[in-house]
Amino acid sequence: MKRILVTGGAGFIGSNFVRHMVTKYPDYTMINIDALTYAGNLENLKAIKNNSNYLFVKADIRDRVKMDEIFSGHDVDVVVNFAAESHVDRSIVEPEVFLTTNILGTQVLLDTAKKHWSVCPNDKYCREYKPGVKYLQISTDEVYGALGKTGMFVETMPLLPNSPYSAAKASADLIVRAYHETFGIPVNITRCSNNYGPFQFPEKLIPLMINNCLKEKDLPVYGDGMQVRDWLHVADHCTAIDIVLHTGVDGEIYNIGGNNEKTNIDIVKLIIQTLGKSETLIKYVRDRPGHDRRYAIDNTKITTQLGWVPAYTFKQGMKETIEWYLSQADWVENIVSGDYMEYYDKMYV
């Protein structure tokens, strides 16, 4: 495995993954393609941008001609597809781009991989591919829908997505599965729980609350704040993806999560306490439409079959994350000084 195409590598998880791989595997070439939407930020890759095993190309995964050129030009043998529209609240207001990027973009990548990796591309019955190739789809636990007070998501559960975002991600998962079943492309799908950590765009719960708290702005908690998410540090997500890439069994789906369920209100209170602010900043606002009540990941498959274990405790991960945002005021300011304020006013004011 030598030439890895990472899509969406200028976003939150993608950039953490690219930095992890470029540093850990000097003999691999990492080709990062990203359309640089509002969520893509090349600042996230400053630390490795001059490494000889790293390359950035601005490109949209929906662009077939460009994808074909990239596969030809770089002899890609692995794809890790992070590129997506990723924010539920935005998907409620503007669903269409979620469908085109998350679903059709995935199909374009699969078609391109099939064309370049097949040993007999003109034979529709052919299921043989060059050795060592793999397509990895980065998916989410949100495809399973919402849980009640008990139970956990397992890989065999039916997909019952509730938001346009999660419906688009679920659709992409099904297309990936279909290309494996019909054409035999070697694939894996990973479904991770909510991530937190450095470089997360401040529209998501944890960085939004840190940023608002620092500025003593209202902390907008949706509904009663008792929704539960199963939080995982982004570095642990990256090590899980690394393990699936190297040892995942073709065609298999792996849930990724660290058994770390928290209510939203508890997280907001933890941030307030850590930053020494007052709980009077909390503002309960109208609930998100279709808001999933609880997510919880059963990680038995990846831990027992592939030996992955998360390294971070939530306490340590949150401490480091809050410290990171405190030390990166410029990074945050560059983001919130652009289109972000327009988005924020539309959503919250």
84 versus 235: smaller Cβ distance to ligand TYD: 84
Interaction of residue 220 with ligand TYD, rule CB under 6 A: yes
Residue 228 forms beta bridges with which residues? 263, 294
Q: Which residues contact 96 (CB under 8 A, 6 or more apart)?
A: none
Minimal distance in Å, beta carbon 273 to ligand NAD?
23
Among residues 194, 239, 255, 303, the one that binds ligand TYD under rule CB under 6 A:
194
Interaction of residue 13 with ligand NAD, rule CB under 6 A: yes
The DSSP symbol for 159 reads: P
CA distance 93 to 300: 36
Interaction of residue 11 with ligand TYD, rule CB under 6 A: no
**Residue 269 one-letter amino acid:** K
117 versus 165: smaller Cβ distance to ligand NAD: 165
CA distance 238 to 18: 9
Q: What is residue 62's three-state secondary structure?
A: coil
CA distance 206 to 232: 12
Catalytic site includes residue 94: no
Minimal distance in Å, beta carbon 292 to ligand NAD?
13
Tokens of 292: 């999933």
Among residues 53, 91, 195, 264, the one that binds ligand TYD under rule CB under 6 A:
264
Report the site for ligand NAD in 127-156 (rule: CB under 6 A): 138, 140
- Tokens 């079943």 found at: 181
Report the site for ligand NAD in 162-201 (rule: CB under 6 A): 169, 192, 194-195, 201
CA distance 282 to 219: 5
Q: What is residue 88's three-state secondary structure?
A: helix
Minimal distance in Å, beta carbon 225 to ligand TYD?
6
Contact residues: ligand TYD, CB under 6 A: 88, 194, 204-205, 208, 220-222, 227, 229, 264, 288
Interface residues with ligand NAD (CB under 6 A)?
Answer: 7-8, 10-14, 34-37, 39-40, 60-62, 82-86, 101, 105, 138, 140, 169, 192, 194-195, 201
